[in-house]
């Protein structure tokens, strides 16, 4: 038997074990989702004082955006106002109020929208009533003012507030923020970690305007096995949970499975 194939394998062992390139820039053990040096360095700080499990906070008044839908109905069931109750917020930021026209709601709170739409509909109905009186030469006693009342605006479907789970999870993607989710909730929503995930390099990236965001280390083993909640942060709209691929040595010896 020729010894040349054996010698060839032995010659490749340092390359294989180090995960270096065999041909060009293609590594023998590719890292599908690496954590960049900058992100890793930023994640080495201590836990920050931010909302987290058992210390959650509300996000303030909900601001409507395209992707949401509103339920718009007259408070008084005897009102002459007739609307399609389910109103999707269109990409241009408006809702279609039938004969009352389109009204811009994006970037506004529900209270503001409710007040504006009530005034819009009331003004138009009163204008029509006044016009009808003038045309027919009648008085208020002969044509009573229209019964309008307040307009109720509630949030129906909410899709505009989302977070992202990326990397070594079963189903990475965009997820609608329902309320009080934490990092652990986000990972579970994405189907959990895969066999290739690095337990010790998971980070939460929180964007801040157009500049670099905040990178927070997530102690996954501490959260799940020790009940340490200081890194189980509450998710905010736009957050990214990044689960990198474990490196070759962690895959062989499981260093990342014993915490840090």
By CB atoms closer than 10 A (0-12, 13-18, 19+), residue 98 is exposed
Residue 29: the pLDDT is: 53
Residue 23: the pLDDT is: 42
Reported as a single tens digit per residue, the pLDDT across 187-232 is 999 999 999 999 989 999 999 888 889 999 999 999 999 999 999 9
Residue 32: the pLDDT is: 85
Closest CA to 225 of 195, 253, 166, 184: 184
- pTM for the whole thing? 0.80
Tokens matching residue 147: 């019964």
Distance CA 243, CA 167 (A): 5
pLDDT-derived band at 22, boundaries 50, 70, 90: very low
Reported as a single tens digit per residue, the pLDDT across 111-120 is 999 999 999 9
17-25 mean pLDDT:
46
Write out the DSSP string of 56-117: -----SPBP-BTBEEEEEESSTT-S----SEEEPPTTSEEE-GGG-EEE-TT-BHHHHHHHH
Query: Residue 47: pLDDT above 60?
Result: yes
Distance CA 169, CA 246 (A): 12
Q: Strand 21-23 relative to strand 86-88: parallel, antiparallel, unpaired?
A: unpaired
Q: Which residues contact 136 (CB under 8 A, 6 or more apart)?
A: 143
Write out the DSSP string of 156-201: ----S-EEEEEESBSS-EEEE--SS-BHHHHHHHTT-B-TTB-TTS
Distance CA 21, CA 31 (A): 12
Beta bridge partner(s), residue 40: none
Query: Residue 13: pLDDT above 90?
Result: no
Task: HSE, CB side, 13 Å, CA atoms: give it for residue 117.
Answer: 33
* 233 or 40, greater pLDDT: 233
pLDDT-derived band at 6, boundaries 50, 70, 90: very low
All structural domains of the chain, each given as residue ranges with its CATH number in brackets, are 1-30 (no CATH), 31-59+160-257 (3.10.560.10), 69-155 (3.30.1950)
pLDDT-derived band at 125, boundaries 50, 70, 90: confident
Residue written as tokens 């890793």?
Answer: 40
* 248 or 243, greater pLDDT: 243
Helix, strand, coil distribution of the chain in percent, nearest 5: 30, 25, 45
Phi, psi of 193 (to 5 degrees): -80, 155
Distance CA 223, CA 195 (A): 18
Residue 21: the pLDDT is: 43
Query: Residue 78: pLDDT above 90?
Result: no
Closest CA to 65 of 22, 100, 94: 94
Reported as a single tens digit per residue, the pLDDT across 81-110 is 888 878 999 999 999 998 899 999 999 999
Reported as a single tens digit per residue, the pLDDT across 154-190 is 999 889 999 999 999 999 999 999 889 999 999 999 9
């Amino acid at each position: 038997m020729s010894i040349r194939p054996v010698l060839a394998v032995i010659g490749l062992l340092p390359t294989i074990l180090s995960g270096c390139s065999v041909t060009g820039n293609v590594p023998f053990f590719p890292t599908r989702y690496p954590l960049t040096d900058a992100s890793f360095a930023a994640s080495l700080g201590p836990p920050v004082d931010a909302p987290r499990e058992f210390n959650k906070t509300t996000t303030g008044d909900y601001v409507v955006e395209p992707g949401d839908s509103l339920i718009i109905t007259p408070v008084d069931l005897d009102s002459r106002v007739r609307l399609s109750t389910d109103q999707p917020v269109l990409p241009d930021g408006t809702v279609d109020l039938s004969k009352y026209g389109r009204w811009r709601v994006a970037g506004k709170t529900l209270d503001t929208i409710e007040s504006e739409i009530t005034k819009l509909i009331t003004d138009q109905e009163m204008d029509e009533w006044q016009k009808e009186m003038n045309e027919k030469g009648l008085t208020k006693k002969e044509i009573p003012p229209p019964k309008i009342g307040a307009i109720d605006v509630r949030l129906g479907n909410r899709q505009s507030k989302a977070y992202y789970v990326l990397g070594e999870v079963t189903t990475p993607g965009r997820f609608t923020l329902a309320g009080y989710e934490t990092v652990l909730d986000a990972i579970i929503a994405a189907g959990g970690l895969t066999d290739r995930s690095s337990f010790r390099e998971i980070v939460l990236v929180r964007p801040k305007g157009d500049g670099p965001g905040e990178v927070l280390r997530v102690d996954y083993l501490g959260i799940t096995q020790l009940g340490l909640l200081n890194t189980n942060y509450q998710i905010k709209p736009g957050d990214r949970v990044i689960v990198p691929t474990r490196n070759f040595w962690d895959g062989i010896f499981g260093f990342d499975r014993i915490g840090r």
